[in-house]
């Protein structure tokens, strides 16, 4: 059992400096991840627009995979940080070990299930489209999903580092994995240096190899530098209470993020009724918005353990200051995103070898969707605060309402009544609903859990 004589920095360091120190490495690594997403699609678009459309259609499944891994990681992160804040170091070790086992088990289950689901999944979306889109999509999906052990392990190991405040090492593992992916993309797609030209399959292989290398690095960092926890599985025994505690927080987050996959799938179905180019634009939007949203998620990853730790340590003022500073930072970052999407949308689309048709559809789409950014920044931060305080179910309800009960029905109705140009307004409409629900839920949780803490 580990012993820690001095207070963890999350309980004593000034909040501004702590949040900066915790989040900056995560923001940098997330920006590199966003760059990888863009470069990956940029190279795929050079194969053909059909290839870009196929990869866009596979995105909901990739998002589902990441949702399961990241949602479980949220549970691990919050429970582990809270245990450290309460000085329950034995429990923190148990949480870490269970997290490793759950990551391995999840990757096996997902790989088997998705290998057989690739064909019917693509068939549902491409019934009236070019058969080439179907073939490209199946290739890409089967490689990414059957070799998903890298992404599950990488996310879990990085969450363990984040839980103890070692976000610098998370930045290194994420960045190296992304850079490896960026380097391998053109080599494997176009067959440089004597290697076979793999096309879309090469893009998938580069993704998987980057994830595996990132996972190995994160594992090494945990074993060598993360002395506050012990992840050795030699004496591991599954404990129902630990698994339940992880998933009590993690399942709402998993469901919340999986809802995003369902929403994307539904939007693809609506957009494919107009054209495959419209679906490609939606896929490109997700790649572009990652440049804006990934730093917010990096800020989130630095903020959650701070809030969870100080809730466990009963430090009310530190929780309040962390939340206020995080929301302010997120909203400022989102304003930058709005300006970029309004001023240079054609230049952004040009990165993906956009045709004249894609430019015509994409420019108004990006401008309309970006109006939701300022609301989204606030909602992302507050939703994660709810998770850190152990009330992730509210975030799940909010996400379900926003994406399933507002966004998709609004997109369908707008498509039927006013055509493609109106579909994009469904996203700002849904985000306004989300702001309202998020504020109501946060006030309720704050009064119940934070307000009673001593000043």
Residue 5 within any structural domain of the chain: no
Residue 320 within any structural domain of the chain: yes
Residue 36 has pLDDT above 60, yes or no: yes
Q: What is the pLDDT, as a whole number, of residue 66? A: 86
What is the arithmetic mean of pLDDT over 232-240? 83
Mean of the per-residue pLDDT values of the chain: 87
Q: Which has more confidence, 106 or 85?
A: 106
Residue 455 within any structural domain of the chain: no
Share of the chain above pLDDT 90, in %: 36
- Please tell me which of 242-256, 263-277, 292-306 the model is most confident about, judged by mean pLDDT: 263-277
Give the DSSP H or E segment for 48: none
Instruction: Band the pLDDT of 276: cuts 50, 70, 90.
Output: confident
109 CB-near residues (< 8 Å, 6+ apart): none
Residue 186 within any structural domain of the chain: yes
Residue 308 has pLDDT above 90, yes or no: no
- The tokens 């709005």 sit on which residue? 338
Q: What is the pLDDT, as a whole number, of residue 8? A: 62
Instruction: Band the pLDDT of 4: cuts 50, 70, 90.
Output: very low
Closest-CA residue to 157 (of 226, 67, 256, 241): 226
pLDDT per residue as tens digits for the range 191-221: 998 889 999 999 999 999 999 999 999 999 9
* pTM of the predicted protein model: 0.77
Asked whether 35 and 118 are in contact (CB, 8 A), the reply is: no
Residue 4 within any structural domain of the chain: no
Residue 340 within any structural domain of the chain: yes
Q: What is the pLDDT, as a whole number, of residue 338? A: 94
From 24-28, 259-263, 426-430, 434-438, the region with the lowest mean pLDDT: 24-28
Residue 307 has pLDDT above 50, yes or no: yes
Residue 127 within any structural domain of the chain: yes
- Please tell me which of 70-74, 94-98, 334-338 the model is most confident about, judged by mean pLDDT: 334-338
Q: Which domain holds residue 382?
A: 13-450
- Angle, in degrees to the nearest 10, between helices 167-190 and 15-47: 10
Instruction: Band the pLDDT of 415: cuts 50, 70, 90.
Output: very high
pLDDT per residue as tens digits for the range 112-126: 988 888 899 999 888
Residue 128 has pLDDT above 50, yes or no: yes
Residue 399 within any structural domain of the chain: yes
Q: What is the pLDDT, as a whole number, of residue 256? A: 73
| Total number of domains constituting the chain | 1
- The tokens 């984040």 sit on which residue? 162
Q: What is the pLDDT, as a whole number, of residue 2? A: 44
Q: What is the pLDDT, as a whole number, of residue 1? A: 41
Closest-CA residue to 165 (of 312, 314, 303): 303
- The rounded distance, in Å, linking the Cα atoms of 303 and 385 is 8
Give the DSSP H or E segment for 157: helix 149-163
């Amino acid at each position: 059992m580990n012993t820690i004589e001095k207070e963890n920095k999350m309980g004593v360091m000034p909040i501004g400096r702590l949040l900066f120190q915790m989040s900056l490495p995560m923001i940098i690594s997330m920006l590199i991840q966003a760059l990888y997403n863009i470069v990956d699609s940029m190279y795929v678009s050079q194969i053909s627009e059909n290839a870009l459309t196929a990869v866009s259609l596979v995105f909901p499944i990739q998002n589902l995979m990441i949702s399961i891994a990241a949602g479980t990681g949220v549970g691990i992160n919050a429970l582990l940080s809270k245990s450290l804040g309460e000085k329950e170091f034995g429990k923190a070790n148990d949480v870490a070990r269970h997290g490793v086992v759950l990551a391995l088990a999840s990757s096996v289950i997902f790989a088997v299930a998705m290998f057989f689901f690739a064909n019917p999944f693509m068939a549902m979306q491409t019934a009236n489209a070019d058969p080439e889109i179907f073939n490209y999509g199946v290739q890409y999906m089967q490689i990414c999903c059957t070799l998903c052990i890298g992404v599950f392990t990488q996310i879990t190991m990085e969450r363990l580092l984040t839980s103890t405040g070692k976000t610098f090492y998370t930045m290194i593992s994420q960045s190296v994995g992304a850079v490896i992916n960026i380097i391998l993309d053109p080599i494997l797609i176009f067959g440089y240096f004597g290697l076979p030209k793999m096309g879309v399959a090469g893009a998938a292989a580069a993704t998987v190899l980057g994830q595996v290398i990132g996972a190995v690095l994160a594992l090494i960092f945990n074993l060598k530098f993360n002395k506050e926890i012990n992840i050795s599985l030699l004496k591991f025994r599954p404990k129902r209470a630990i698994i339940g505690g992880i998933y009590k927080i993690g399942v709402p987050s998993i469901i919340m993020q999986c809802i995003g996959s369902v929403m994307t799938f539904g939007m693809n179905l609506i957009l494919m009724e107009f054209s495959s180019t419209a679906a490609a634009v939606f896929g490109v939007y997700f790649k572009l918005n990652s440049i804006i949203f990934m730093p917010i998620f990096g800020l989130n990853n630095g903020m959650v353990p701070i809030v969870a730790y100080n809730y466990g340590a009963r430090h009310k003022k530190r929780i309040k200051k962390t939340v206020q500073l995080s929301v302010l930072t997120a909203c400022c970052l989102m304003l930058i995103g709005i300006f970029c999407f309004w001023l240079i949308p054609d230049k952004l689309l040009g990165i993906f070898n956009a045709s004249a048709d894609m430019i015509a559809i994409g420019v108004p789409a990006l401008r309309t969707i970006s109006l939701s950014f300022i609301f989204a920044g606030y909602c992302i931060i507050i939703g994660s605060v709810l998770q850190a305080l152990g009330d992730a179910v509210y975030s799940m309800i909010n996400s379900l309402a926003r994406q399933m009960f507002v966004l998709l029905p609004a997109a369908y109705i707008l498509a039927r009544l006013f055509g493609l140009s109106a579909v994009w307004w469904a996203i700002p409409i849904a985000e306004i609903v989300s702001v309202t629900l998020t504020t109501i839920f946060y006030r309720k949780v704050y009064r119940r859990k934070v307000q009673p803490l001593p000043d």
